[in-house]
Amino acid sequence: MKIIIEKDYDGLSKKTAEIIKEEINRKPNLILGLATGSTPVGTYEELIKMHKEENLDFSKVTTFNLDEYIGLSPEHPNSYHIYMEENLFNHINIEKENTHVPNGEAEDIEEYCKNYDKGIEELGGIDLQILGIGENGHIAFNEPAEELTLGTHVTGLTESTINANSRFFDSIEEVPKTAITMGLGSIMKAKKIILLASGKNKAQVIKELLKEEYTTTSIPATMLLLHPDVTVILDEEAASKHNE
């Protein structure tokens, strides 16, 4: 695992966008795995700037998002569809048909999940996957559990995640209790992975991860220790308990 520690959130965002830019320049038809949440917002802002100021070209890029709430329509203001449109897609020259966010309203959801993974495989797999991490160690919505599912699937959200995500909703009751998420297998098949963490509230889980002593399904992110090409990009606050 390669570890990069930037001074602050701004540095983390710039560094991450630089790596994504290099990957797009290396392979213009990059298959890019994207995350939502607070952490990648600054990275997306940097990518928009690079598109506007340096002509970073997304016209051949394909994206697959990690997850979506079950029961929220793609037009719902808290859906990850809207998040992606507002934070990135509407501001760059990506073809809408090349962007994929799981459909939380799919009728035959099991079939839909299988096809989501198939769609990724048919394009040759994800070249670069961006990940956030939950305070409880989840990646995407793969929550701590005795077993972790490999493929894209429907999952319940833990109380910790519902609490954390309630900041985006008017009340905690409005936070969906289930979601569709790429599984650990889908994520681990990505050729290159960048995991981002910012802020003091991530310091404890990052400390556990960077011990590199064990993998455990109770901290799903530790599965990444088995992957050959993972870069962890932190700000100083998230790194503050590492080397303690």
Q: Is 235 a catalytic residue?
A: no
Q: Which two tokens stand for residue 54?
A: 């340096």
* Beta strand pairing call for 67-69 and 178-181: antiparallel
Find the shortest distance in angstroms from Cβ 116 to ligand PGA: 18
Find the shortest distance in angstroms from Cβ 60 to ligand PGA: 28
33 within 8 A of 6, measured Cβ to Cβ: no
Site string for ligand PGA, 116-155 (x = CB under 6 A): ----------------xxx---x-----------------
Q: Is 57 a catalytic residue?
A: no
3-class DSSP string for 59-82: CCCEEEECEEECCCCCCCCCCHHH
Find the shortest distance in angstroms from Cβ 74 to ligand PGA: 20
Q: Is 110 a catalytic residue?
A: no
Site for ligand PGA in 24-63 (CB under 6 A): 37-39
38 vs 218 by CB, closer to ligand PGA: 38
Tell me how far apart the alpha carbons of residues 239 and 7 are, in angstroms, rounded to a whole number.
10
List, by residue number, the catalytic residues: 67, 136, 138, 143
What residues make contact with ligand PGA under the rule CB under 6 A? Answer: 37-39, 132-134, 138
